[in-house]
């Protein structure tokens, strides 16, 4: 059960002029639920992306990188759930390209204008013929209002679809932003989450769009972790269709900040949704670290806490076994950390005062906070002005169950 | 249930001339089982140690570092289980020193000749008065044949005691080595395991002993991981009593290699015992990585596999979901890894051939190996001659259960 998260109201998701979506069941995943999604983009749309840093980047990630590096237009995205097409060698690359070919034939564009995405089991051959035979059904269902259906079609072990919208006004023009994401396990994105697609009808310059996708990833998907395992298929794609009629936004403009802020809001909501729906999650944990020398140091401590199995099982048990937080901070490898300057709060309760247990701390107060479904851990390292926030979930029996039984 | 590991036969543990051990129940841990251990060393014994790299090193670790840095003799070690005396500030340091004072009074030595050790819950005040009142019982039980009892007295969530012996001959003198260890969770030692004490009656020069303790830690405790969480209390102490009558061993001597090899055998056995008894373990996993550019790179890949929750839950489920091994290799952050040169075997089954699934691989073969209680994963990175081995266990429901219920 996701923590304080329900499926999005499909009617509240804003259509993005220039983007149409379709979905169908290809039979790649066993559960008979749509597992193939097609997104068609209008002429003139611009696309930027960031991808996993895992060395075993999946075949579709390799194809996406080639397409985006070539700098040509992108007219469609094709996404399958149930098979990651990773560790599949040359046959996997060929399968990814064949799915692009099939899309190109149906939409009348070039195969080098199609981005492929896959998510699911690694090391299994992708049954591309199922994609080829099901794509016509996706094409016939293409519609601008399909964000809800599309978000469902990219799910794997997700229990609810993840999508949301924001709108803003730039120079008198109404701009819409809608995004969707999937991913609840093998999740510690490094430059992107498993699969996220955000589109806006704003007109954005190509350089500015690429900068924006990185900046947004850094404050959203790169700050969420479920199990510390970075996926082979992480992809975050940002599309700007240019249909809103605004003047092209450059990286230095005030409008850039406005649009980036709206897109970051969508991305942060999706990133938090991922942790709320983390495999087996019963709690949503926010880890705030301040007083660091630089942001990298703050991130190291925050991730150290958010990824420690011992910290996460204590949250699951609602057990204020808070020494484990100390252990995790101490393991972050911060050179010359003066533990006498470290302070820590659990929700509104002071736990660590100058490196030791706070005199005011009581087990009852700690237990009270640990019972909440949403918990904030705040650490002050007392050595600088940099800070960060990372979101995660607890570690339950169900995490083991879900991952022990994933393929069976 | 530990994997192919039973409690040591106490009668088979070799007494080390110059070392006496005693144990008693102080009431620090709830279960009424000996939780206080005292080890007395003869005059002239030399001691060296390595300790955790966690910034929140526990109070006893801080005291041990001071004592060993001063370079004076060590005449006794005092160890309590049930409380880690960590995150306890000045009061914790004072409690550690008071336990040394009490030992010194009883044994007629200086308090600066006593090393204190603690293991158990972090962030709780150490009830040092229980140690003071129970130490006389430890003293009255001191005997050279007590290695088995002593190994039991330092256990926390361990399900069996861990101890073993080796003997060798150096220049016509029979030399004995006996060691004990504890630790099954919060376990990813970095320079040492939670608590390990190894003693030999050989005579070893002080510099050679310090070199040896580091070298042995590097090939044993630094290669085992249960959950990736490095403890605040890790300590590995090597004692050479000099009672065997051999000529003092220097770092460059052939005798050094002979003795180090015997001590490393004891240490590797203890390190493997820790993984076999890892919290919730149902399988013992050996991860061998070869073809690395340097050892650090090999260790990064091996640890990446051994610490991935997704890899470990797949082992628990006996599910050959081997794409997760690829994911873990890819996440090790190896710069410029050419995945087309990566090969991987599970036991005797070739899984990955040149970065993709081996043509000869079948799910049935994978499943057959995954069912074993002892599994070896072998990875060839194909980029150099360095290699390493890391030991770990799987990740089961019981790991979550043990750690969710640890204090309740």
B303 min Cα distance to partner chain A (Å): 13
CB B96 within 8 A of CB B60: yes
Q: What is the mean pLDDT of residues A212-229?
A: 86
Phi, psi (rounded to 5 degrees) for B389: -135, 135
Greatest mean pLDDT among A225-234, A389-398, B217-226 lies in A389-398
Model confidence pLDDT, tens digit, residues A55-74: 888 999 999 999 999 999 99
CB B239 within 8 A of CB B47: yes
Are B339 and A229 inside 8 Å of each other by CB? Answer: no
- Chosen for mutation from A188, A403, A406, A407 (greatest number of chain B CBs closer than 10 Å) is A403
- Of B119, B134, B156, B193, the active-site residue reads B193
Supply the DSSP symbol for A246: P
Give the nearest chain A residue to B229 (CA atoms). Answer: A308
A69 min Cα distance to partner chain B (Å): 19
pLDDT surpassing 80 at residue A228: no
Contacts of A319 in chain B (CB under 8 A): 404-408
A323 min Cα distance to partner chain B (Å): 4
- Is pLDDT larger for residue A189 or for residue A263? A263
Contacts of B185 in chain A (CB under 8 A): 310
pLDDT surpassing 90 at residue A327: no
Give the nearest chain B residue to A331 (CA atoms). Answer: B54
Question: Which residues in A136-211 belong to E strands, given as ranges?
Answer: 162-170, 173-182, 195-200
A44 min Cα distance to partner chain B (Å): 35
Of the pLDDT bands very low, low, confident and very high (cuts 50, 70, 90), residue A190 is low
Are B87 and A324 inside 8 Å of each other by CB? Answer: no
Contacts of A95 in chain B (CB under 8 A): none
Model confidence pLDDT, tens digit, residues A37-48: 999 999 999 999
> CA-based angle B148:B150:B151, to the nearest 5?
65
Q: Which of A91, A322, A337 sits opposite B123 (nearest CB)?
A: A322
Contacts of A186 in chain B (CB under 8 A): 310, 324, 327
Distance of CA B158 to the CA centre of its chain: 12
Model confidence pLDDT, tens digit, residues A145-156: 999 999 999 998
CB A152 within 8 A of CB A181: no
Give the nearest chain B residue to A190 (CA atoms). Answer: B331
The pLDDT score that the predictor gives to residue A406 is 65
Nearest to A394 by CA among A287, A288, A293: A287
Tokens of B248: 């003092």
Model confidence pLDDT, tens digit, residues B95-114: 999 999 999 999 999 999 99
Model confidence pLDDT, tens digit, residues A281-306: 999 999 999 999 999 999 999 999 99
A381 min Cα distance to partner chain B (Å): 12
> How many percent of chain B have pLDDT more than 70?
98
Are A330 and B227 inside 8 Å of each other by CB? Answer: no
Q: Is A317 left (phi over 0), alpha (psi -120 to 50) or beta?
A: alpha
Contacts of A122 in chain B (CB under 8 A): 321-324, 326-327
CATH superfamily of B284-404: ArgJ beta chain, C-terminal domain (3.10.20.340)
Are B401 and A399 inside 8 Å of each other by CB? Answer: no
CA distance B131 to B143: 19
Which residues partner with A237 through β-bridges?
A: A49, A197
Q: Among the residues of A71-205, which ranges form H helices?
A: 89-107, 128-140, 147-153
Of the pLDDT bands very low, low, confident and very high (cuts 50, 70, 90), residue A329 is very high
Are B322 and A123 inside 8 Å of each other by CB? Answer: yes
Contacts of A191 in chain B (CB under 8 A): none
The DSSP secondary structure of B176-208, one letter per residue, reads EEEEEEE-SSS---SSS-SEEEEEE-S-B-HHH
Q: Give the number of beta-carbon pairs within 8 Å between A and B.
A: 205
Q: Helix B254-276 crosses helix B206-219 at what angle (to 10 degrees)?
A: 40
Q: What is the mean pLDDT of residues B210-234?
A: 86
Q: What is the dihedral of CA B392, B397, B399, B402, to 10 degrees?
A: -160
Q: Do domains A10-276 and A284-404 have the same CATH topology?
A: no
Model confidence pLDDT, tens digit, residues B103-155: 999 999 999 999 999 998 888 899 999 999 999 999 999 999 999 999 999 99
Tokens of A236: 């975050």
Q: What is the mean pLDDT of residues B11-30?
A: 94
Which residues partner with A284 through β-bridges?
A: A374, A393
The DSSP secondary structure of A312-338, one letter per residue, reads HHHHHTT---THHHHHHHHTT--TT--
Phi, psi (rounded to 5 degrees) for B252: -95, -5
CA distance B245 to B229: 41
Q: What is the mean pLDDT of residues B349-373?
A: 92
Give the nearest chain A residue to B405 (CA atoms). Answer: A317
Of the pLDDT bands very low, low, confident and very high (cuts 50, 70, 90), residue B370 is very high
Of the pLDDT bands very low, low, confident and very high (cuts 50, 70, 90), residue A1 is confident
Q: What is the mean pLDDT of residues A217-240?
A: 85
Phi, psi (rounded to 5 degrees) for A301: -70, -45
CB A391 within 8 A of CB A221: no
A93 min Cα distance to partner chain B (Å): 11
Give the nearest chain A residue to B55 (CA atoms). Answer: A330
Nearest to B225 by CA among B265, B281, B175, B172: B281
Q: What is the mean pLDDT of residues A309-329?
A: 89
pLDDT surpassing 90 at residue A196: no
Instruction: Please measure the distance between the N-terminal and C-terminal CA atoms of chain B and give it in whole angstroms.
Output: 21
Contacts of A331 in chain B (CB under 8 A): 54-55, 229-230
Of the pLDDT bands very low, low, confident and very high (cuts 50, 70, 90), residue B322 is confident
- Up-side HSE of residue A281: CA atoms within 13 Å toward CB? 34
Of the pLDDT bands very low, low, confident and very high (cuts 50, 70, 90), residue A193 is low
> How many percent of chain A have pLDDT more than 90?
66
> How many percent of chain B have pLDDT more than 90?
67
Q: Which of A56, A125, A308 sits opposite B229 (nearest CB)?
A: A308
Q: Which of B88, B121, B339 sits opposite A55 (nearest CB)?
A: B339
Which residues partner with A177 through β-bridges?
A: A166, A200
B36 min Cα distance to partner chain A (Å): 22
Q: Which of B326, B357, B404 sits opposite A232 (nearest CB)?
A: B326
The DSSP secondary structure of B296-314, one letter per residue, reads HHHHHHHHHHHT-HHHHHH
Are B401 and A397 inside 8 Å of each other by CB? Answer: yes
Are B319 and A408 inside 8 Å of each other by CB? Answer: yes
CA distance A65 to A233: 12
Q: What share of chain B is helix, strand, coil (3-state, %, to 5)?
A: 35, 25, 40
Which residues partner with B181 through β-bridges?
A: B162, B196
Contacts of B331 in chain A (CB under 8 A): 54-55, 229-230
Q: What is the mean pLDDT of residues A197-214?
A: 93
* ipTM, two decimals: 0.79
Question: How many residues are present in chain B?
Answer: 408
Contacts of A189 in chain B (CB under 8 A): none
> Contacts by B132-135 with C-beta closer than 8 Å and gap 24+?
B132/B98, B132/B99, B132/B102, B133/B26, B134/B24, B134/B25, B134/B26, B134/B27, B134/B36, B135/B36, B135/B38, B135/B78, B135/B99, B135/B102, B135/B103, B135/B106
CA distance A348 to B157: 32
Contacts of A321 in chain B (CB under 8 A): 121-122, 406-407
Are B403 and A92 inside 8 Å of each other by CB? Answer: no
> CA-based angle B116:B117:B118, to the nearest 5?
130
pLDDT surpassing 90 at residue B33: yes
Contacts of B314 in chain A (CB under 8 A): 403-404
Question: What's the whole-number average pLDDT of chain A?
Answer: 91
The pLDDT score that the predictor gives to residue A147 is 95
Supply the DSSP symbol for B172: T
Q: Report the predicted TM-score, pTM, of the whole model to 2 decimal places.
A: 0.83
Question: Which residues in B293-395 belong to E strands, given as ranges?
Answer: 343-346, 349-353, 356-357, 374-380, 386-393
Are A316 and B124 inside 8 Å of each other by CB? Answer: no
The domain limits of chain B are: 10-276, 284-404
CA distance A124 to A122: 6
Instruction: Please measure the distance between the N-terminal and C-terminal CA atoms of chain A and give it in whole angstroms.
Output: 21
Give the nearest chain A residue to B338 (CA atoms). Answer: A55
CB B160 within 8 A of CB B147: no
CB B257 within 8 A of CB B216: no
Model confidence pLDDT, tens digit, residues A7-28: 999 899 999 999 999 999 999 9
CB B268 within 8 A of CB B220: yes
Tokens of B11: 């009668």
The DSSP secondary structure of A336-405, one letter per residue, reads T--GGG-EEEETTEEEEETTEE-TT--HHHHHHHHTSSEEEEEEE-SS-SEEEEEEEE---HHHHHHHHS
CA distance A305 to A300: 9
Question: How many residues are present in chain A?
Answer: 408
- Of A47, A119, A149, A193, the active-site residue reads A193
- Chosen for mutation from A57, A123, A349 (greatest number of chain B CBs closer than 10 Å) is A123
Q: Which of B91, B314, B326 sits opposite A86 (nearest CB)?
A: B326
Enumerate residues 6+ apart whose C-beta is below 8 A from A379.
Answer: A287, A288, A289, A290, A291, A301, A302, A305, A325, A329, A342, A343, A344
B359 min Cα distance to partner chain A (Å): 11
Domain B10-276's class? alpha beta
In the residue annotation, A193 being an active-site residue is answered as yes
Of the pLDDT bands very low, low, confident and very high (cuts 50, 70, 90), residue A226 is confident
The pLDDT score that the predictor gives to residue A54 is 85
Residue B259 to residues A17, A226, B353, Cα–Cα distance (Å): 76, 45, 41
- How would you classify the pairing of strands A36-41 and A46-51? unpaired
CB B369 within 8 A of CB B383: no
- Chosen for mutation from B310, B341, B370 (greatest number of chain A CBs closer than 10 Å) is B310
CA distance B56 to B328: 28
A16-30, A69-83, A308-322, A364-378: the lowest-pLDDT one:
A308-322
Are A91 and B396 inside 8 Å of each other by CB? Answer: no
């Amino acid at each position: 059960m996701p923590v304080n998260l329900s499926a999005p109201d499909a009617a509240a998701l804003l259509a993005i002029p220039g983007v149409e979506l379709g979905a169908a069941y290809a039979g790649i995943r066993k559960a008979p639920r749509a597992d193939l999604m097609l997104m068609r983009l209008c002429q003139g749309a611009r696309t930027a992306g960031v991808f996993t840093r895992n060395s075993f980047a999946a075949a579709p990630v390799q194809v996406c990188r080639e397409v985006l590096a070539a700098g040509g237009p992108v007219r469609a995205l094709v996404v399958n759930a149930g098979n990651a097409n990773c560790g599949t060698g040359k046959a996997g690359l060929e399968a990814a390209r064949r799915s692009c070919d099939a899309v190109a034939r149906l939409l009348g564009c070039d195969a080098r204008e199609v981005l492929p995405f896959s998510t699911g089991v690694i090391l299994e051959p992708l049954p591309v013929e199922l994609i080829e035979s099901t794509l016509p059904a996706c094409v016939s269902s293409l519609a601008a209002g399909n964000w809800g259906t599309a978000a469902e079609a990219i799910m794997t072990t997700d229990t609810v679809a993840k999508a949301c919208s924001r709108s803003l006004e730039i120079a008198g023009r109404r701009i819409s932003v809608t995004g969707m994401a999937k991913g609840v396990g093998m999740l510690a994105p490094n430059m992107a989450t498993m699969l996220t697609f955000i589109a806006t009808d704003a007109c954005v310059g190509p350089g500015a769009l690429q900068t924006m996708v990185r900046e947004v990833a850094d404050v959203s998907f790169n700050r969420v972790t479920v199990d510390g395992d970075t996926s082979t298929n992480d992809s975050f794609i940002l599309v700007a269709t240019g249909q809103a009629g605004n003047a092209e936004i450059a990286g230095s403009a005030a409008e850039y900040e406005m649009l980036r802020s709206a897109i970051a809001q969508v991305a942060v909501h999706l990133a938090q949704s991922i942790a709320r729906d983390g495999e087996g999650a019963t709690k949503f944990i926010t880890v705030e670290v301040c007083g660091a020398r630089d942001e990298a140091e703050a991130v190291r401590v925050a991730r150290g806490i958010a990824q420690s199995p011992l910290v996460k099982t204590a949250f699951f048990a609602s057990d204020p076994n808070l020494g484990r937080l100390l252990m995790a901070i101490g393991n972050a490898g911060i050179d010359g950390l003066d533990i006498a300057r470290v302070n820590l709060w659990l929700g509104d309760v002071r736990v660590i005062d100058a490196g030791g247990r706070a005199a005011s701390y009581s087990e009852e107060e700690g237990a009270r906070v640990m019972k909440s479904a949403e918990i904030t851990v705040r650490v002050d390292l007392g050595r600088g002005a940099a800070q960060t926030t990372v979101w995660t979930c607890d570690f339950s029996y169900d995490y083991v169950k879900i991952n022990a039984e994933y393929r069976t």
